[in-house]
Structure 1
């Protein structure tokens, strides 16, 4: 799955995994494995093991440390190419819920009110990275190094839901 923060990659990946019976791996949980958003120092090893399996679903191919590895091993990429007016309310609601309820996230971390001031907070990240992420994904799906790569590109959530229902 690819797309900007808040597009619904994890939600779709879980649904697709359940429907197809293919193992799902949450990239944020692989990436952040400790307190204070500690990055997994065995990320490349962990992802390499997953990517060596015959079937897998990962909800993000965007982390730089494993980006080329995953793009090179994937046979299908599902691109949630939603406009900002779709993504921003989603990421706002999710971050507000996580912050207000103190939901435990990856590695035991939580989003806090102070985190909202960071340039890397999901809301700010989704806004600032929307166009650059779109350009990066567009470039990658056309890159001959990753051919033949089947790309399913959805520009509206209703198109994604219709596709998932049709499986």
Structure 2
């Protein structure tokens, strides 16, 4: 794999933001989309139907998003990851250390449960959801954190070697904030 860069390709129109749960994918993707004047679509909102049931339209909605040719979104959900990666101009990989993502995820999870804020399609964080093996807490709390990181590294490396995918690898909150600031200011409204 070519060494990770800090530069997005000029005219990038299809950008993925990758990382473990709690890395800040959604936050960075929204801010980056504004700076690049590209539409942002949240993968979680496409995936989760009412009652946390996966939406049957998820994959076709992702295909429709990819067909637009202009987007920023998160790299998640195994069923669509190959399509997302094959279509992207660049990946911004938030490869943060475990203590950072574990702390963020715990604060986010508890905060959502306490405020009962609606997330996607009427869903709210509840303590009973924490028992599900698919809950992000379990991804970060166990060996899946390292496995996810290794899997991302292998996939991004393969795409970089195969077709020259640009991979921007950011390690730590300060590095991500500095990098985002260097991408310019969002358009004024």
- Name the TM tier (shorter chain): over 0.9
1:160 to 176, 183, 186: 176
Structure 1 match to 2:3: none
SS of the residue 1:142 aligns to = helix
Structure 2 match to 1:138: 153
Alignment deviations for residues 81-101 of structure 1 (CA, whole Å, 9 cap, x no partner)? 001111011000100010011
Give TM-score, length-normalised by structure 1: 0.93
Could you tell me whether the CA contact under 8 Å between 2:43 and 2:76 is conserved in 1? no
In 2, distance between residues paired with 1:147 and 1:137?
16
2:65 to 28, 50, 58: 50
Alpha-carbon shift at residue 125 of structure 1 (Å): 2.1
- Mean CA deviation greater in 155-164 or 1-10: 155-164
SS of the residue 1:65 aligns to = coil
Could you say if the C-alpha distance between residues 117 and 87 of structure 1 is closer, same or farther in structure 2, counting changes exceeding 3 Å?
same
In 1, distance between residues paired with 2:77 and 2:129?
20
Structure 2 match to 1:149: 165
Give TM-score, length-normalised by structure 2: 0.83
1:86 to 100, 103, 121: 100
Alpha-carbon shift at residue 113 of structure 1 (Å): 1.5
Structure 2 match to 1:101: 115
Structure 1 match to 2:26: 10
Alpha-carbon shift at residue 146 of structure 1 (Å): 5.3
Could you tell me whether the CA contact under 8 Å between 1:72 and 1:146 is conserved in 2? no
Gaps of 5+ in 1: none
In 2, distance between residues paired with 1:151 and 1:7?
16
Could you say if the C-alpha distance between residues 149 and 110 of structure 1 is closer, same or farther in structure 2, counting changes exceeding 3 Å?
same
Structure 2 match to 1:41: 56
SS of the residue 1:124 aligns to = helix
SS of the residue 2:91 aligns to = strand
Query: Which has more helix, going by share of residues?
Result: 1
